[in-house]
Chain A
Amino acid sequence: MTISDIYHETSSALLANKVRSGLTMLGIVIGIGSVIALTAIGEGSQSSIQNSIQSIGSNLILVMPGATQTPGSIVSVGRGTAQTLTDDDATAVGQLQGVVAVDPEVQTSKQVVYQGMNTRTTVIGTSEQYPAVRNLQIGDGSYFTASQVSSLAQVAIIGPTVESDLFATGTEPVGQQINIGGNDFTIIGVSVAKGGSGFSNQDDQIFIPITTAQQLFTGNKYASTISVEADTTADMANVQAEITTLLLSRHGISNPASADFSTVNQTDIAATATSVSSTFTVLLAAVAGISLLVGGIGIMNMMLTTVTERTREIGLRKAIGAKKSDISTQFLVEAVSLTFIGGIIGVILGVTASYLTTTFAGITTNITSSSIILAFCVSAGIGIIFGYYPARRAAGLNPIEALRYE
């Protein structure tokens, strides 16, 4: 049998029962389509989480005040609320090798008023290094300088959400006076939108010099976070270890287990988020995979029916000299053709579905070429697996009994 013979036999067999072939194929179409669409949604959410992690900075190490425990006491002060990191710690970390920039921060929440409008938002006191360390872009105006930090200037950079909350469209915010928690500040810049983040809205923030924030709002010299930018990604673990050693010795702690601060690097955050979202993707793919399996069983069911219906034809083919392999090839190719064509339509359906999801539901989807290639291989594989048994059954028929079959 030549390829064109097999093609001819297969197409005439499948076209002889168009409705049945179509319905059977539908099982595979839906299976493959949902695998493509759901993995695209999973991959899409994974990449949007990655993006928002990237947007908080590059090669970033965060140092946060940790649980402190006074000797002999079992009470410890909670992480994040403890006050163990100072501006001097930040300066010392800045001297370390491999550190490009350091930015100590304090964070508080304040009522902000401009004329008749007001909003409650996060106020972050930072050094002039913040835009560099945390990838913040200033769209309008500029960030404050080192001299403004040391002079406790009452200047502010507002996020785009704050801008739209306080100012009517078309109003130029730079140069305007706003009142933050009872103190007047001059707006000197507006940051560029970073988009939604997995954890907090990075656009609903106001930045002021850390010294001003400590003076007016916290009343002490502590920092709530120190952001450190390492020079290379490869060096991050090293820098993280150095920071830990330095701060332990500065705080006079000998046992690393009782450290009063904690460090976390961006790669760790990314890895955690990735593992969460890939679990999610696998879960979606598994659900879709079940429908694919059901589709495969549909193929096997149809092929078994076909073999029974065509018993006499198989008997005739054997009587005129068809080998077992001729018969099994014919039926196997029929099954694989069904699943393969179903796979192609399924990929088209899946791509369309993910496109529609993005357009109408606003969910980021990401169709990877690997998921399409995998879908093709799986659909052909299902044809082979579920077509093998019916094909074997056809090939194994006894020609005498097959010819007599009514």
Chain B
Amino acid sequence: MQKRQVQKLTMIEVKNITKVYGNAGIEKVKAVDGISFTIKDGEFVAIMGPSGSGKSTLMHILGALDTPTSGTYHLDGKDVSSLSDEELAEIRRNHIGFVFQSFNLLPRTTVLRNVSLPLMYAGVKPELRDVRAKSALKSAGLDESHFLHLSNQLSGGQIQRVAIARALVNDPSLILADEPTGNLDTRTGEIVLGTFQRLNKEKGSTIVLITHEPDIAMHANRIIHIRDGKIVEDKINPHPTKARTDVADPI
């Protein structure tokens, strides 16, 4: 994985998207109400909002887990807004890496195998998977001694690093982190945020962080504030909080 060379290409282009739940006759709920923004390659953006603001729905659309009711969404030049289930699966497989609040590692499975899972679905040859998984784990800052441990033998911080490595392993266009620190204590959360900052800086990974905590959002370079399905603020964060570097070392 090399640092992306062109920094200023548009990675995400969202134009006036809406997402409406409920059918005709039932009261309709507009979870996302006409949102537009662009995110350039190599940006570290936090999407912040209280619960019920529509940020989860927005994340599902950005993550190709769902399609918008109207509007367009281009990811890395591809129109994702009107694809079929199978085409969405292809986008997720090759262009997006997810980091979840609840980690979602496979239990009773080794760290290495958890990380190489996306490669299995992408059809990468088994002999290449371990090499790529190990390199992703190193990028995510997990010490090599843990690679063959079972996922349930790790600490919270280690688990989230494995999850980050799993998101990185496909060399995705976009890393989507949904409340990645929500289930971690402050110190471990700091480690994870430091890892994101390092990946963004050193590898030029495009990262979108979804959170409801302003403190967490302050670690990103740009903060998009959402409320009631609308953007209320979209600003550059000139002085992002630096995660303590001493804890961002391999664990």
Chain A residues engaging chain B, CB cutoff 8 angstroms: 1-2, 4-5, 8, 12, 16, 312-313, 315-324, 326, 399-400, 403
Contact = CB atoms under 8 A, between A and B. Distances in A.
A321 B89 CA distance: 5
B92 A12 contact: no
B98 A320 contact: yes
B100 A321 contact: no
A12 B121 contact: no
A320 B106 contact: no
A400 B66 contact: yes
4 pairs of A and B residues whose beta carbons are closest in the complex: A321-B93, A316-B104, A320-B118, A321-B92
A322 B104 contact: no
B108 interface: yes
Nearest to A395: B85
| Chain A residues touching B, majority SS | helix
B132 interface: no
B85 A324 contact: yes
B90 interface: yes
A324 B157 CA distance: 32
Contact of B126 (A4, A12, A313, A315): A4
A16 B107 CA distance: 9
B20 interface: no
Contacts of A315: 104
A1 to B, nearest CB: 6
A1 B120 contact: yes
B117 interface: yes
Contact of A400 (B60, B90, B106, B121): B60
B121 A323 contact: yes
Contact of A320 (B66, B85, B92): B92
Contacts of B170: 321
B94 A321 contact: yes
B109 interface: yes
Contacts of B92: 318-321
A320 B86 contact: no
Given A318-B92, A323-B121, 13 more contacts: A4-B126, A8-B113, A313-B104, A317-B121, A320-B93, A321-B89, A321-B92, A321-B118, A324-B89, A326-B121, A399-B65, A400-B60, A400-B66
A313 B106 contact: yes
B120 A323 contact: no
B122 interface: yes
B166 interface: yes
Contact of B65 (A322, A323, A400): A400
Interface residues of B, number: 28
A322 B136 CA distance: 20
Given A2-B126, A16-B108, A403-B100, A319 B121 contact: no
Given A1-B120, A400-B60, A323 B104 contact: no
A312 B104 contact: yes
A16 to B, nearest CB: 6
A314 to B, nearest CB: 11
Interface in B96-151: 98, 100, 104, 106-109, 113, 117-118, 120-123, 126
A322 B89 contact: yes
Contacts of A317: 117, 121
B126 A319 contact: no
Given A1-B120, A4-B126, A319-B63, A324 B86 contact: yes
A337 to B, nearest CB: 18
A316 B93 CA distance: 12
Contacts of B89: 318, 321-324
Contacts of A316: 100, 104, 106
Nearest to A396: B85
A56 to B, nearest CB: 67
Of B66, B85, B126, most A-chain CB atoms within 10 Å: B85
Nearest to B108: A16
Nearest to A1: B120
A315 B109 CA distance: 17
A321 B109 contact: no
Nearest to B166: A320
B103 to A, nearest CB: 9
Given A1-B120, A5-B120, A319 B98 contact: yes
A12 B151 CA distance: 14
Contacts of B109: 12
A318 B92 CA distance: 8
A403 B90 CA distance: 18
13 contacts: A1-B123, A5-B120, A5-B126, A8-B113, A315-B104, A319-B100, A320-B117, A320-B121, A321-B92, A321-B93, A321-B121, A322-B89, A323-B89
